[in-house]
A and B are shown apart, each in its own frame.
Chain A
Amino acid sequence: MASERMTVARAMTECLKAEGIKDIFGYPGAAICPFYDEIYKSNIRHILVRHEVNAGHAASGYARVTGKPAVCVATSGPGALNLITAIATAYMDSVPMVIITGQVNSDQIGRDVFQEADITGSAEPFVKHSYLLKKPEDTADVFKKAFYIAGTGRRGPVLIDVPFDVQKAEIDFEYPETVDIRSYRPSTKGNGFQIKRAINALKDAKKPLICAGGGLFTGNAVELMRKFAEVNDIPVVSTMMGLGAMQSDSPLYYGMIGMHGAKAANIAVNSCDTLFLLGARVGDRAMSAMENRKDFTVVHIDIDPAEIGKNIEANVPIVGDITLVLGQLLEQVDGFEERLSHTAWREELEKYRTETQPAPAGDGYVNPKWFIRTLNKYLPEHSVVVADVGQNQIWTAANISLKDGRFLTSGGMGTMGYSVPAAIGAKTACPSVEVVAVCGDGSFQMEFNEMATAVQHGINIKIIVIRNCFLGMVREVQERTYDNRLIGVSLDGSPDFCKIAEAYGIEHMLVNSEQSAVEGIGKLISSDKPYLLEVVVPEHEKTIL
Chain B
Amino acid sequence: MKHTISVLVENHAGVLARVAGLFARRGFNIDSLAVGITDDEHISRITIVADGSKYTLEQIEKQLNKLIDVIKVKTLSPESMVSRELILIKVSCTPKQRPEIISICELSRGKISDISANSVTIEISDNAQNLNNFEELLRPYGIKEIVRTGTIAIQKGEQAVSLKN
Question: Footprint of B on A, CB under 8 Å?
Answer: 120-121, 124-125, 128-129, 132, 134, 149, 154, 181-184, 304-306, 309-310
Contacts and interface: CB of A to CB of B under 8 A. Distances in A.
Contact of A124 (B13, B18, B163): B18
A182 B59 CA distance: 22
A125 B26 CA distance: 10
A3 B70 CA distance: 31
A306 B62 contact: yes
A310 B59 contact: yes
A121 B18 CA distance: 9
Contacts of B65: 305-306
B143 to A, nearest CB: 38
Contact of B71 (A125, A132, A182): A182
B68 A184 contact: yes
A354 B164 CA distance: 59
Contact of A183 (B13, B14, B25, B68): B68
Nearest to A181: B68
A124 B10 CA distance: 17
A134 B10 CA distance: 17
Given A306-B59, A306-B62, A309-B58, A183 B17 contact: no
Nearest to B24: A125
A70 B117 CA distance: 69
Nearest to A184: B68
Given A121-B17, A124-B18, A310-B59, A304 B66 contact: yes
Given A125-B25, A309-B58, A183 B69 contact: yes
Contact of B21 (A124, A128, A181, A182): A124
Interface string B30-71: 000000000000000000000000000011001101101111
Which of A134, A183, A305, A310 is most buried by chain B, counting CB atoms within 10 A of its CB?
Answer: A183
A87 B158 CA distance: 45
Interface string B142-164: 00000000000000000000010
A129 B69 CA distance: 9
Contacts of A183: 9-10, 68-71
A106 to B, nearest CB: 12
Nearest to B42: A182
B122 to A, nearest CB: 39
Nearest to A309: B58
B16 to A, nearest CB: 12
Classify chain B: how many residues form its interface, as a range: 10 to 19
A306 B63 contact: yes
What 6 pairs between A and B have smallest CB-CB spacing? A306-B62, A183-B71, A129-B68, A184-B68, A305-B62, A125-B25
Contacts of A132: 13-14
16 contacts: A121-B17, A124-B18, A124-B21, A128-B68, A129-B68, A132-B13, A132-B14, A149-B68, A181-B68, A183-B10, A183-B68, A305-B65, A306-B59, A306-B65, A309-B58, A310-B59
Given A182-B163, A183-B9, A309-B58, 6 more contacts: A124-B21, A129-B68, A134-B13, A183-B10, A305-B65, A306-B59
A128 B63 CA distance: 11
Contacts of B71: 182-183
A313 to B, nearest CB: 10
B14 A120 contact: yes
Nearest to B26: A125
B106 to A, nearest CB: 45
Contacts of B58: 309
A125 B21 CA distance: 8
Nearest to A306: B62
A472 B64 CA distance: 40
A60 to B, nearest CB: 20
A301 to B, nearest CB: 16
Contacts of B70: 183
Interface string B1-33: 000000001100110011001000100000000
A503 B10 CA distance: 54
A149 B67 CA distance: 11
A149 B25 CA distance: 22
Contacts of B68: 128-129, 149, 181, 183-184
A128 B10 CA distance: 16
Nearest to A307: B62
Contacts of B69: 183
Nearest to B70: A183
Contacts of B63: 306
B51 to A, nearest CB: 19
A306 B17 CA distance: 21
A128 B65 CA distance: 12
Contacts of B25: 125
A304 to B, nearest CB: 7
Contacts of B17: 121, 124
B135 to A, nearest CB: 37
Contacts of A121: 17
A309 B71 CA distance: 23
A404 to B, nearest CB: 33
Contacts of A149: 68
Contacts of A306: 59, 62-63, 65-66
